[in-house]
Copies of this chain bind each other. A is one copy, B any other.
């Protein structure tokens, strides 16, 4: 029988009523002839409660104990979901991560999946069980201790199961009904995408369209798992949600798939840096050590052996970054004349695999911004993405203008 993986996030299992609604969806897929593996998160709020207790008990906690405590939330939901399915006469049982066993490395609180043996669960499918309900986000280390995959690890669990069981699809039920061309709160013209390529989804996810955990999309791309994102709060037909899939599964698409943005960015420029081999490492090493998440980096051409280095970072990391740069200057590691910080910028990106074969996207983007009188401060480009930093106050205007110019409200 074809296997389907269905994943329900915390808000989709927040109450017994919602668990029942989710179970009904599972029951329909069983009626459609699927063996189903259900991956569940903890009931909304539970993980935060448990994490809170651990942090209050021990600020520098032992991650092995953190995992033992925090993994219990998913265990509860898995049992309740199995019971709900049984009440609906759907043969089901729950599995904690260690029972599968979902084998991970020993990196507690951020473990990597190493192997998912299929024997135990397949034996139960062979006996007539129709649904395996698996506690997401957790596994077992080589030492026999419970591990967790880190926040959002339930999406990753779902994709890994879909890969291990060669599932026809991995449906991620969440509180949004799919992936949009941009945030509908910015423009009412935003349109839900029926399909999006893995590569596009990765760029959109990391840019702030927080629908799917990046790691789960990477895993899906590597193992060619067809991922569908859809709402657990609406009635869905077979074409509901957004299918995240390989490029070759998308017949025709817009050149630009979506416009992403990130509001709370800052721009930092080191003026007149002595340009020498290794200077980038000398600058970005101390920033990484200070846990500054540097995003865009631009280096101007060098004149007289000196250059300007500009980078973007989250606005709440400015103080850390400035201290790291001042310390590096004081210690003689780097040399610059001035550090200029702009705390009022936003990042806008247009993303689309169509760009690869379609010239002129960048110039069309720059023209649209110019027509609105928006000044571009930094530009970076990749094969399927163009990003710019602009004044934060123009962010909404820029998103709307770009959404219009690339006609994202229209289907391809």
Chain A residues proximal to chain B, CB less than 8 Å? 16, 19, 50, 53-54, 56-58, 61-62, 64-66, 68-69, 72-73, 75-76, 78-80, 82-84, 86-87, 93-94, 96, 98-99, 144-146
Measured CB to CB, the nearest residue on chain B to A71 is: B75
Give Cα A65–Cα B75 distance, bound, in whole angstroms.
10
Q: Are the CB atoms of B78 and A75 closer together than 8 Å?
A: no
Describe A's contact surface by its main secondary structure.
helix
Instruction: Collect the chain B residues with CB atoms within 8 Å of residue A54's CB.
Output: 79-80, 83
Instruction: Collect the chain B residues with CB atoms within 8 Å of residue A72's CB.
Output: 72-73, 75-76
Instruction: Collect the chain B residues with CB atoms within 8 Å of residue A84's CB.
Output: 57-58
Measured CB to CB, the nearest residue on chain B to A55 is: B83
Give Cα A99–Cα B203 distance, bound, in whole angstroms.
41
Instruction: Collect the chain B residues with CB atoms within 8 Å of residue A19's CB.
Output: 57
Q: Are the CB atoms of B96 and A80 closer together than 8 Å?
A: no
Known: A72-B72, A99-B145. A65 touches B86 (CB 8 A): yes
Q: Are the CB atoms of A76 and B94 closer together than 8 Å?
A: no
Measured CB to CB, the nearest residue on chain B to A144 is: B99
Q: Are the CB atoms of A50 and B76 closer together than 8 Å?
A: yes
Give Cα A87–Cα B144 distance, bound, in whole angstroms.
23
Give Cα A109–Cα B103 distance, bound, in whole angstroms.
28
Q: Are the CB atoms of A57 and B83 closer together than 8 Å?
A: yes
Q: Are the CB atoms of A65 and B53 closer together than 8 Å?
A: no
Instruction: Collect the chain B residues with CB atoms within 8 Å of residue A78's CB.
Output: 68
Q: Are the CB atoms of B58 and A87 closer together than 8 Å?
A: yes
Instruction: Collect the chain B residues with CB atoms within 8 Å of residue A64's CB.
Output: 93
Give Cα A58–Cα B16 distance, bound, in whole angstroms.
11
Q: Are the CB atoms of B80 and A62 closer together than 8 Å?
A: no
Q: How far is the CB of A373 from chain B (nearest CB, A)?
A: 56
